[in-house]
Structure 1
């Protein structure tokens, strides 16, 4: 079998091959990243949670979702931290998000890239194919010269302007040479990789698309979306995820009108039924601005943060009817909780993933979030294309690619995803 477009044979024989395993032996999968063992203790503050989890709780969602791709009853995940590795593994699962950058910004990710290069170079390509999951890119408008300054235009044509550093190209070539699989967050990152001379990877979005294994999840979300618009409840229980605003003057200036819009048009009219979901320490700073500058004071029980993905899904299901947010994984957790929502894309990165997952989205530069203009939340929701049947159709198509690739690599796929892949269109 071949890695797509590579001409490089995947491992089909050898002492660690599935054909030589005992029928009852678990497949050993090397794991690179945060280890999800026992659930963390509840009640930690945001700074305490950051110290034991990650500085952006949204990052836990894609990592945990990658962890859950495999069949837990047929696999054993083996953490890989740094070579030499003493435990032989049959394949390697390597989820990474915002790794690829234009060469001019490589210093920002150089240390992280080299950590991953060191790990993959410590894995024998003859024994363990590497599954690189949901790799994405961090690209700013100024890195796409000649492209109109809009999210839509940059996403459509900007990929060809991105030149990857040789170390990152070498890393991707190493993944290819292992005979494994490479998936991207979406089309934009796929195009960047192809423009840098590598075979096109698989644009499968984020594995968090499969946190919930309900076969007709999109139909459920659409039904609830329709109910929100039909009822137009002034006490709608909203979940709000804040824009990711750096704690500096430039970031605050860029998002000043958006923060005022949230305060005046969302938080004030829905303050009794709104829950703000904090994902970073920067969100704490933004909330302080909303409190001090605009006089919006929410009760403590209306301000939540989650550093355990299952608890986040459970909490979202219990608290909210709709997600209005600027964070892709905040909205994705809503999807997993069967709570419909919108993600307002502030950049190419969020747009790419929302489009790939067919989650209702609108570019921030088209959303007209003007704090001085009258705003009706329900009219705004109605103006955004909803899930319809395309969400379930896309999810089935992606599940089938996972099923095919995992079968090729002899890695047991989570039965819930297998079931989705087997559904008829």
Structure 2
């Protein structure tokens, strides 16, 4: 007998997206919050609506969802904003995350989580410092009064933060946690290698797709080109044993940055100098890859595809959620949530209270500090990372339950 499982799961996902959007618009609630609650209720109380084994198909679901989750957020970063707030984004995405993981790992000496090694603390904080791109976009879309500066910081951080956390987890924390020891110098060099190679591959893929998009002028084709680019960048990087997430983020941002430069050049074509640099000529600046109007369509479609991917991850979260276990580890969950929130508040204070005293950091004020602190919502990536821990690890249950709890609270 034919199985209708694919059709049923598609109906379920699209229904959740449609109804969450409708309720979000009516009650002014971020749709990702409704998606999270709706996914849990459907998965728990209407099992016939999710007729696939999410737990055993999780690895396949990850590969399918990751590019869609990060692509939409990467598309929202404009080249002009990256130029203007580049140092701010770098601080949030790399420096602040690395320092946060180091500070969090130092809790090891207080023996907060009994029996956990120092490598285990590094992994746990890498997992729980990663923010959720879909949640960030959903929240930002509901608040029109937030300044452009803060929006750029939140969007840029939600991408770079995740890439840094993934590298820290896979290339430092996880090997350290599983082996019990690690050579700090080798680990740092390996992480640096992954960082550099991932960015290099991303720039290469980004330029190729940027040039390819000059061959056609159809918004649907351009949108599909971005999807293909995201999946291809991720696949190439993973096959080369570097960071697929950082590579796909770099590729999408690079393509979008070159597109932004083309559009800006076209808008100032009459006043611009006729002489062009070699780099401008080699990328055929006078041939635009797309337009602002078509980009708006691409943004909206990318956001909807991101919601679809998020629902799939939320189903897995529902599979992992066990209220008895959550209650059993309630103290650990609350401690982890409090520590990560406090660390985030301290790292964001740089922008509020000393930003005006630093040359490359723009201040945001106390209100901006509050928004930045509590915009660090955890979600899909944290669930993905904690699932990657081998079943043989003694404290995997602690990691899973604590992470699920922190995701829910954030």
The TM-score with structure 2 as length reference comes to: 0.23
- The higher relative CO (CA closer than 8 Å, separation ≥ 6) is in 2
- Higher relative strand content: 1
- Higher relative helix content: 2
The TM-score with structure 1 as length reference comes to: 0.23
